[in-house]
Chain A
Amino acid sequence: MKNQGPSVTNHGRHIAGRVALLAGCAAVLGWIGMPDMALAQDAAAAQAPTAYRDIPYIGSRNLVWIIAQLHLLLAGFVLGVPIFAWLCEIVGWKSGDKRYDKVAKEFTKLLTSSYATTALFGGILLFLLIGFYPKLMAYLTDIFFPSFLVYCCLFLVETATLYLYWYGWDAMAEGNGKKFHIFLGFLLNVFAFFIMIVPNSWATFQSSPVVISEGSDFARAWAATWNPTWWPVNIHRLIANVVLGGYICGAYAGIRYLSARSQEERYHYDWMGYVGNFIGVFGLLPLPFAGYWLMREIYQYNQQMGITLMGGFLSWLFILQAMLIGVLFLGSNYYFWLGITHRIPGSEGQYRKPIMAMLIILLLCLGVWMTPHSLVASLEEAQKMGGTHHPLLGVFGVMSAKMTVSNLMVLVTFMSFIMYWRAGKEDTAGWARAAKALMGGVLGLAAIAVIVLGVWGYFVPAIIRINYFSTSQVGIVIFVMLTITPLTALLLKSAKTTTEMVWGKMPPRAGYALVLNAVMVILLMTLMGYARSSSRVHWHVYGVMRDSSPYAFSPALGYAAALMALNTFLFCMLVAFIFWVATMGDKAKAAASSKGSVEPGTIPAMAGGSPALDGPEAPVTEIDAPERKRPV
């Protein structure tokens, strides 16, 4: 403790210094900006109510864009992590594996500070919206006031539940206390779900408004809430939040793994990275289906909005989306494959060929998904092609092809996980051969059916493809998952473990892959957030309230992409800050307890220790002790 004192004091001084610097910057910005803000008001404001205000240099729209995006990303994290933590807690409680409980608690600790930061950005966003868009906010308040009250109540109960959930963790660790604690986790998620869907109604109302002029305030609010895109967005965001929570957990584990100084830490964070990646992939698999449903509803609600998104000037965003999702699929599978080759010694030769086959299928699918309908071509190239549609590959540019390859990629990723699950085990059940033949048959037939439906989709009316073929493709993939998962679980119950899974032996690139996945998810959310918002074009409320501000234009895609990148960077910095603050005490304790006891050959990967963690010459340390080898 003696050694810890000056260290903590230094930390305190650093923080105080940085906070003072930030406060100084904020004061200077405020001093510069405030007079101009006043000047930016309409000169006629004295007579008419002010519709818009502006801020110099950055502009009101950009500022709201940044703050709203950060608030949404933080909210996604704050709503995704409780699902993640609660699931881990249940698994830990049921299985008796304390690691799950530990990881759930570790992330719930992050929740408290993240929750406050999310609320802070929500407050800033509210003030900015009231300040910059008073007319719009007055209109929305008039419609949604009853749901504002509901939202406030939800926040109160959510906050109380979160405090009980976090501070009561140790007090309710055993017996009925644990059951009650898990019930609190359930409540936390229920309230969080409603906290998500209430503001979703405000945002989706702007895109697909339902306005009724008669009835009580409650009836008007309810009609506006239950608009055509509300539930598709609710489901899509719920799943996306799970994905975000999982991948951010993975990235956190990846960074901690890379900076780990002891085998104990490596063991723990390797395992945590696996759990984070698994939950991210678990959410990623149904996400394309939810997105497809959302786009279908948008298209059906308004043809103009649908074409603006899928065929018009925003369609390039979907090519970027394909690239980001593609990297995410590749990154997630790569992590699984690294897990097989590194955590299960001697398995590389056995799994190299299946991995290559899966990689080729993924890349082919990604090639199709990323092929635009209208290609970027020089005049000369366009003349040779006879336009910007390629006569042969142009067929890859439409939904029938995209749905087919996205389903195949989901299937491949699912099989990657199954392969990982089965790795290092030998079936002993008498019916294992028949079961494996059945699984192979189901998988093969499913892949053929998905492709046949995809090709057939070009030759039937669009409505048949949308209503039957695309949904059948999704149904087939779900059927495969629901068939193969329990069969594999049954097989593994009686299977013999031939090679123990060893944790803490992943190479540094596995940690970087986890970080890459998280950045891809964040970029993806900023991208599609922009797409959803921009599809309203020059309307605040589509077809009802026109945007008459100087910003009633859609920014160029390059400009928008720069802001998305900025938002991603700012969010990563915020999350890093939250993690740093939340784990400061633990690190100080760990540093004090392990001072002078850094093990030889355990330099953190980030500090030049990578070679020691990789390659065939990786040192064998106490990590190979039997207690570190546990079947999964």
Chain B
Amino acid sequence: MGGVLVRPVILTVCIYLFLKFIVPNLPHSAPLPSSLIFLYLMLTTAGIVIFATLSGASKDAFFGPILRFLPGEGGGALSSARYIVLALFPLLVGWQTYGSTASSDAPPAENRTIHPAPPGEYTGLSNPVPKTPENIMYGKGLYASRCAPCHGNFDGKGFAAPGFTPPPANFKDPTTIAMLQESFLFWRIKKGGVGLPVEGMPWKSAMPRWELEMSDEDIWKVIMGEYDGAGQKPRTWDESE
């Protein structure tokens, strides 16, 4: 095979190895799902093909070895190798087909919507409790007794957290409560996991339905305590808030 093809193959393999083995071992990281690795490899392949076909010469250099290999030009071992490819290709297709259609006891890939839309009656609500230091402290106290066992020190690492899949939310992560309005949190705390719509997979959340144990006012205070403790600000449309 031509040298021009070797470099793209090495590049693709290196990127795969980086995504599969290096990224998971970076600080605060975890293994990437295969769907994401596939996505990034597709982008890599697209980039390689785009760059290789910029000119007639580079296109011929890139596809030439493949085009010469397929009709068996050159003879020798390469000529025999194409018969192996001929045999392997349908086997590969068959393996893919079997893998995607055979029944399996593995659960299907999860497509859970983590932040589904709240019901209409919760949209537009604003926190009626004054943001005083006392109320914030009171909310933090409630948080410590009700929420901290799972959500920990606002980082989702409470002592009970390892028992749950999916794990409790990390409020310090700027992509969680900082992206949401207070009314969203009010709905989620009040109605708990069972109050989620279908796309949020209510059966997957262990969040209790706190309306049974806390008044609305206390829930609003917990929300204030949560934002303050996590060092985040809720999404608003008013800069003065």
Contacts and interface: CB of A to CB of B under 8 A. Distances in A.
Contact of A462 (B30, B39, B113, B235): B235
A596 interface: no
Contact of A614 (B39, B56, B174): B56
A390 B174 CA distance: 13
A370 interface: yes
Nearest to A316: B111
A303 B199 contact: no
Nearest to A557: B111
Contacts of B119: 304
Given A303-B124, A307-B115, A461-B236, A366 B43 contact: yes
B79 interface: no
Contacts of A303: 117-118, 123-124, 181, 183-184
B175 A374 contact: no
A146 interface: no
B111 to A, nearest CB: 6
A312 B113 contact: yes
Nearest to B46: A330
B114 A373 contact: yes
A388 B117 contact: no
Contact of B109 (A304, A342, A378): A378
Interface string A335-378: 00110011000001000100110011001001100110111111
Nearest to A614: B56
A386 B30 contact: yes
B179 interface: yes
B97 interface: no
Nearest to B231: A459
Contacts of B54: 337-338, 341, 348, 352, 355
A616 B59 CA distance: 10
Interface string A33-49: 00000000000000000
Interface residues of A, number: 69
A378 B36 CA distance: 12
Nearest to A387: B166
Interface in B39-90: 39-40, 43-44, 46-47, 50-51, 53-60
B23 to A, nearest CB: 7
A502 B44 CA distance: 32
Interface residues of B, number: 65
B114 A307 contact: no
Contacts of A394: 173, 175
A383 B238 contact: no
Given A385-B33, A391-B30, A393-B32, A363 B43 contact: yes
Interface string B103-124: 0001111111111111110111
B132 interface: no
A379 B166 CA distance: 10
A215 interface: no
A543 B175 CA distance: 29
A467 interface: yes
B100 interface: no
B71 to A, nearest CB: 16
Contacts of A385: 30-31, 33
Quick one: which of A302, A384, A462 has the most chain B CB within 10 A?
Answer: A462
A388 B112 contact: yes
A547 to B, nearest CB: 14
A292 to B, nearest CB: 15
Contacts of B235: 461-463
Nearest to A355: B54
5 contacts: A307-B184, A311-B116, A376-B35, A398-B175, A463-B238
Closest 3 CB pairs of A and B: A615-B56, A461-B233, A377-B33
Given A382-B110, A382-B166, A507-B59, 16 more contacts: A303-B183, A341-B54, A348-B55, A355-B51, A363-B46, A374-B111, A376-B110, A377-B110, A378-B107, A378-B109, A384-B30, A387-B114, A390-B33, A390-B36, A461-B233, A463-B241
